[in-house]
Homo-oligomer: A and B are copies of this chain.
Amino acid sequence: MPQWDHFPSAGLATFLTLHDIHQATTEFTPPPNGHTTQHLPHAQNESPDTPVRRLIQDTRNKGYETICLPLTTEKWKERWEGMCLLPSSPIKEEPESADVDTKKKEIARAAELWRARPCFLPDEALQQELAYASYLSIHTVILPAPRNRSHVASYARIINNCLKNTPYLYLSVRLPIYNPTILHQAQAHTGSGLGLAVSPASTPALIVSPDPSTPSQSTQNGISPESEMNATWEMWDVIRSICDYNTRLTLTLDLTPPLPSKLGVLSKWAAESVRYIFLPASTFIANTKGYPVLPKPTQSFIRDSMIHRPTVILAEVTSDKHSRGGEAAYSQYIKFLEKTSAVVRNAQKEGTVEHFAQGYQDYLQAPLQPLMDNLQSITYQTFEQDPVKYERYEEAIFRALMEWPVEGRIVCCVAGAGRGPLVARCLNAVQRSGKEVFVYAVEKNPNAYVTLQQRKDREWGDKIKLLFGDMRSLDIPEPADILVSELLGSFGDNELSPECLDGAQRFLKPTGISIPSSYTSHLAPLSSSKLYNEARASKNAVESLETPYVVMFQAVNILSEDKLGCGAKIQECWEFEHPRRDGVMATVVVDERGLPLTNNHNVRSARLRFWIPHAGVLHGLAGYFEAVLYGNIGLSIHPHRKDQISKDMLSWFPLFFPFKEPLYLPSNSELQVSIWRLTNERQVWYEWHAESFLTVPLAPPGVKSDSDGTPTSGAQGQGWAASSPLSVPSPLADDDGFFSSSTTAGGNGGGASGSTGGEGSTIGTRRGSSSSGIRTPGRVNRSVTLPHVFGGGGVGGGASAGAGGGFEVVKIGHTSLHNPGGRSSWIGL
């Protein structure tokens, strides 16, 4: 599939059949100069010298960048099937006539002779074809889907072997977006087999499946709609896992089946390497004028997919399936979808994060360590370009000054002034407020301090005073009323803002305020083949999978969803507040300079419970932060809230906590994530771990039970919480026992704060603690007891009740503990 040029988002390919090639051969007239054996590339205007080249030129003239050709002819298939396959009837089950037996032996002997020179096995037959494709400089070979779930492991093993044996070729497995039977039947009709070929387009007669969003129909077949939507993804998961996430293995998503109206179930494909989208003309419907258009769900799916820059393979486009528009109508329509795609528009619009991040999507960066390292000027420059962050800071400072309750001179201190952007914003706010304010600016980077001095001389004059030194050890001439800092990382505290502000708090008046006044860390479980591969591509894969990364997510899927009683899609881990009003700092013993003796009060831990509606593979955790600067002015990279709080802010991409081994999570499972923020005398680091759980029938089928089958939901619902000498605590239940108090909050109970449920949409309403001054209890129970999650027999409606004793939650898997002891940790203290 030669690719001629780069198309902005979607590439366009056309699918040629053997019939097309045959026809081209019949109609072909050699060019006058008769150079039919010319094998060199020729100029665009030269006449093509072979029928296939003519076909390619025609295709290019129609606007396609890529062409898909079947590599296998019917003749080859026939020969291969004869050589490598036996007739499907079992051998010698019953005595056979000598004739049949002799014929079979003859075929088998012929096949064996053929395999012998050169010798190959059935999967090597595929290898022969791939070797030929490689010889022809074909870039990618698209393979037909496995025909049967039970043989996927064998299919995958062969693909893996082929990837090893053809080192440059890309292989793409063509899979229907769900419901593989459709494609299988199509293949059966056309006789396509394992052989190398783009499998033929389905004929319209086969696309008869009703709307899959109607569950009752498929439930009749004993398979839930969820499983049905999941079936081909699960095949893909086996294939790419057995192929160890080989980067030369991609997916060709076949959009022949009509898509469900709810696309959520399809979001998992965003986390996979979908390189091609196969779209036959039969998938199009006719609009009122007779032109081909796509059904709404397929439209949406393709628009959303544009962000991954797929190549759309149009098939059957010359077969006049629609009355108007001709062949060109199909590709024009795809280009229309591209132009009207919100993700494409966003990426093209200046000032958006998507535009700013071009080229950085899914690229792993080590988080900055501004406390340990002195940043370069260019790093400051990059972040100073943020159009939103500094505006938010200025607004916060302005409001704080306007609402300042005491008359007279106000002392402001910018802690960590860098090259001065916050100082400048601070002075703007002062000017706007009309108040009498004196500003101190503290900076420990001697190089940035040069710039600061220049700016003071040129711009600021004696409105401010510069102070050189680390805010944790420096003394300032007078205590401040307002402490302004921006020491935040993608996960809030990961650039050691809490530790730095512990030091800076020394020079804040008891009545003073900090901007930011608090920040929270948030997590969500994430799937991404891309990020998994990127993280382990490093030389030291073990260590690189123990380190969090800053990443602009693109080919990722957040696996969780909101669920009543379980928790939100994205959940809060913990919070830091400045100045500490939670009683913690009151108990922290400080030395003669006012610095804490230990960093114990900055230890945090959280245990979060996520609902996983659709099967997926966990590759890591997405980390976000949200900060309250002042009042209801904040900064947020929380996906659901950032647009309301700090739209188009560029300074932070999310954090990615990788897992070493991918963890398979079935549909409707629950994931428990534990994460710790730990510290010793020299370091601060995170450790993380996950366990998965699934609801199963309490009395499993096939296991005898004393129950008479009467639904006893009420008793079971209570059973989870009941405690008797015989009852084991539910694996998910929580209590306020000894252990929680010793690990949750680093000894003071103030650590693991916040609650998982009910994240509101504005900062003001959400953070009740900020306005009322009364914090939520330090050891608030993050976990709900079990009946609220999966329920006993009585939860989830009558339909699911009473299975001989209801349901229980069983553990089904877990990850390793990550980053134990703090490898690659931030050295900050």
Contacts and interface: CB of A to CB of B under 8 A. Distances in A.
Contact of A122 (B123, B179, B743, B814): B743
A731 B234 contact: yes
A695 B701 contact: yes
A177 interface: no
B700 A668 contact: yes
Contacts of A181: 723-729
Given A705-B797, A726-B210, A802-B802, A694 B812 contact: yes
A60 to B, nearest CB: 35
A791 interface: yes
Contact of A589 (B116, B179, B705, B774): B116
Nearest to A150: B734
A346 interface: no
B808 A223 contact: yes
24 contacts: A90-B777, A91-B749, A91-B750, A108-B748, A112-B600, A116-B598, A119-B600, A150-B729, A150-B732, A194-B739, A208-B725, A216-B706, A219-B707, A222-B806, A227-B808, A227-B810, A231-B728, A234-B731, A244-B820, A661-B661, A668-B696, A668-B700, A696-B697, A697-B697
Interface stretch (A47-55, A156-164, A388-396, A510-518): A156-164
Contact of A209 (B149, B668, B726, B733): B726
Interface string A788-800: 0011100111111
B748 A703 contact: no
Contact of A812 (B161, B178, B666, B808): B666
Contacts of A807: 697, 701, 803
A241 B778 CA distance: 30
Contacts of A27: none
A709 B812 contact: no
Contacts of A255: none
B696 A695 contact: yes
Interface string A108-152: 110111011101011100000000000000000000001111110
Contacts of A738: 85, 147, 193-194
B121 A600 contact: yes
A220 interface: yes
A206 B121 contact: no
A701 B800 contact: yes
B157 A687 contact: yes
A816 interface: yes
A158 to B, nearest CB: 7
Contacts of A226: 703
B701 A589 contact: no
A212 B735 CA distance: 25
A414 interface: no
A719 B216 CA distance: 13
A687 B603 CA distance: 46
A178 B726 CA distance: 10
Nearest to A241: B814
B821 A790 contact: no
Interface string A555-597: 0000000010000000000000000001100111100000001
A742 interface: yes
A292 interface: no
A783 interface: yes
A411 interface: no
Q: How many copies does the complex hold?
A: 2
Given A161-B820, A161-B821, A224-B698, A91 B778 contact: yes
A818 to B, nearest CB: 10
A812 B811 contact: no
B740 A148 contact: yes
B728 A796 contact: no
B699 A696 contact: no
Interface string A405-435: 0000000000000000000000000000000
A315 B811 CA distance: 34
Contacts of A451: none
B702 A791 contact: yes
Which interface residue of A231, A728, A729 has the most chain B CB atoms within 10 A? A728
A817 B739 contact: no
A742 B709 contact: no
Contact of A151 (B119, B743, B808): B743
Contacts of A220: 712, 715, 719
A154 interface: yes
B703 A800 contact: yes
A242 interface: yes
Closest 3 CB pairs of A and B: A222-B719, A803-B803, A701-B796
Given A729-B181, A799-B708, A777 B607 contact: no
Given A179-B726, A666-B812, A716-B222, A742 B800 contact: no
B563 A739 contact: no
A84 B115 CA distance: 74
B800 A801 contact: no
A704 B564 CA distance: 14
A53 to B, nearest CB: 34
A461 interface: no
B586 A105 contact: yes
Given A116-B597, A219-B707, A179 B238 contact: no
Which interface residue of A589, A676, A774 has the most chain B CB atoms within 10 A? A589
A681 interface: yes
A672 B147 CA distance: 18
A722 B802 CA distance: 26
Interface in A345-389: none
Contact of A105 (B208, B582, B583, B676): B583
B88 A736 contact: yes
A691 interface: yes
Nearest to A229: B728
Which interface residue of A111, A180, A775, A803 has the most chain B CB atoms within 10 A? A803
A817 B244 CA distance: 8
A218 B509 CA distance: 60
Which interface residue of A109, A208, A587, A717 has the most chain B CB atoms within 10 A? A587
B217 A587 contact: no
B697 A694 contact: no
Which interface residue of A208, A664, A790 has the most chain B CB atoms within 10 A? A664
A552 to B, nearest CB: 30
A146 B734 CA distance: 13
B791 A238 contact: no
Contacts of A492: none
A737 B151 contact: yes
B209 A588 contact: no
Contacts of A113: 589, 597
B216 A664 contact: no
Contact of A563 (B194, B702, B803): B702
Contacts of A221: 719, 722, 724, 726-727
A265 interface: no
